[in-house]
Amino acid sequence: MIEIPSPCLVVLVGPAGSGKTTWANEHLPEHVVSSDDLRRLVGEADNDLRASADAFAVLDDVVARRLRRKLTTVIDSLGTDPARRETWRRMAADHGVACIAVVFDVPAAQLRRQNADRAKRVPDDVIRRQLAEWATVVATVRAEAFDAVHDAEVAALVPRSMTARAKSATVAEVAAAAPDARRLTFGLQLPQFTWPGGPPEMGERLRSIAVRAEAAGCRSLWVMDHFRQIPMMGPAWADMLESWTTLAHVAACTSTLRLGTLVTGITYRNVAHLAKIVATLDVLSGGRVDCGIGLGWFEDEHRAWGWSFPARRERYALLEDALQLLPRMWGPGGKPFDGAVLHVPDTSCYPRPLQAHVPIMVGGSGERRTLALVARYADACNLFGDPDVVAHKVQVLRQHCARFERDPAEISVSHLSTVLIGDDPAHVRALVDSTRPPKVSAERHTRAVNAGTVEQHVARVARYSEAGVDQIIVSLPDVADDGAVERLGRLISACAG
pLDDT tens, 302-311?
A: 999 999 999 9
Distance between CA 55 and CA 426 in Å, rounded? 35
pLDDT digit string, tens, across residues 455-480: 999 999 999 999 999 999 999 999 99
Note the pLDDT of residue 158: 85
pLDDT, tens digit, 9 for 90 and up, residues 308-363: 999 999 999 999 999 999 999 999 989 999 999 999 999 999 999 999 999 999 99
Helices and strands: H and E segment counts in the chain: 18, 20
Residue 173: pLDDT band with limits 50, 70, 90: low
CATH architecture under which domain 171-496 falls = Alpha-Beta Barrel (3.20)
Sequence-distant (6+) residues with CB within 8 A of 205 are 195, 196, 197, 480
Quote the pLDDT of residue 47: 74
Q: Which helix (H) or strand (E) holds 148?
A: strand 148-151
C-alpha Rg value of the chain to the nearest Å: 27
Of the pLDDT bands very low, low, confident and very high (cuts 50, 70, 90), residue 178 is low
Are 435 and 446 within 8 A, CB to CB?
Answer: no
- Taking the domain 2-153, which CATH number applies? 3.40.50.300
Identity (one letter) of the amino acid at 187?
A: G
- pLDDT > 90? residue 130: no
Q: How large is the average pLDDT for residues 253-277?
A: 97
Q: Is residue 46 predicted with pLDDT exceeding 90?
A: no
Q: At what angle do helices 370-377 and 387-403 cross, to 10 degrees?
A: 60
pLDDT, average across residues 80-106: 95
- Strand-pair partners of 156: 3
With 90 as the cut, is the pLDDT of residue 51 above it?
Answer: no
Please give the mean pLDDT across all residues of the chain. 93
The confidence score (pLDDT) of residue 157 equals 83
pLDDT of residue 378: 98
Q: pLDDT band at 421, cuts 50/70/90?
A: very high
Rounded mean pLDDT, 410-429: 95
Residues in the chain: 497
Query: Band of the pLDDT at 167, cuts 50, 70, 90?
Result: very low
Q: What percent of the chain has pLDDT over 90?
A: 82
Q: Is 187 left (phi over 0), alpha (psi -120 to 50) or beta?
A: beta
Contacts of 124 (CB under 8 A, 6+ apart): none
Q: Pick from 163, 155, 159: which is nearest to 24 by CA?
A: 155
Amino acid at 175: A
CA dihedral 261, 267, 272, 278 (to 10 degrees): -10
Q: Please check whether residue 130 is in contact with residue 104, taking contact to mean a CB–CB distance below 8 angstroms.
A: no
38 phi and psi angles, rounded to 5 deg: -75, -30
Whole-number Å distance between alpha carbons of 488 and 476: 9
Domain extents for the chain?
2-153, 171-496
Per DSSP bridges, beta strands 380-383 and 155-159 are: unpaired
Whose CA is closest to 441, among 6, 2, 3?
6
Rounded Cα–Cα distance for residues 16 and 43 (Å): 19
CA distances from 252 to 198, 281, 353 (A): 21, 10, 17
pLDDT value, residue 177: 58
pLDDT at 286 over 60: yes
Residue 179 has pLDDT above 60, yes or no: no
Query: Regarding predicted confidence, which is higher, 215 or 17?
Result: 215
- What integer pLDDT is reported at residue 295 of this predicted model? 95
Rounded to an integer, the average pLDDT of 430-443 is 92
Count Cβ atoms within 10 A of the Cβ of residue 237 and give its class: 0-12 exposed, 13-18 middle, 19 or more buried: exposed
What's the pLDDT at 156? 82
Section 103-114 average pLDDT: 86
Q: Write phi, then psi, for 439 (nearest 5 degrees).
A: 70, 10
- Tell me the C-alpha to C-alpha distance, in Å, between residue 473 and each of 213, 341, 361: 12, 33, 13
Range from 102-116, 182-196, 412-426 carrying the lowest mean pLDDT: 102-116
Are 249 and 208 contacting, i.e. CB atoms less than 8 angstroms apart? Answer: no
Query: Do 2-153 and 171-496 fold alike per CATH?
Result: no
What confidence score (pLDDT) does residue 123 get? 81
Which pLDDT value is given to residue 166? Answer: 40
**Which residue spans within 165-234 are E strands per DSSP?**
185-190, 220-223
Cα torsion angle, 482, 27, 46, 65, sign: positive
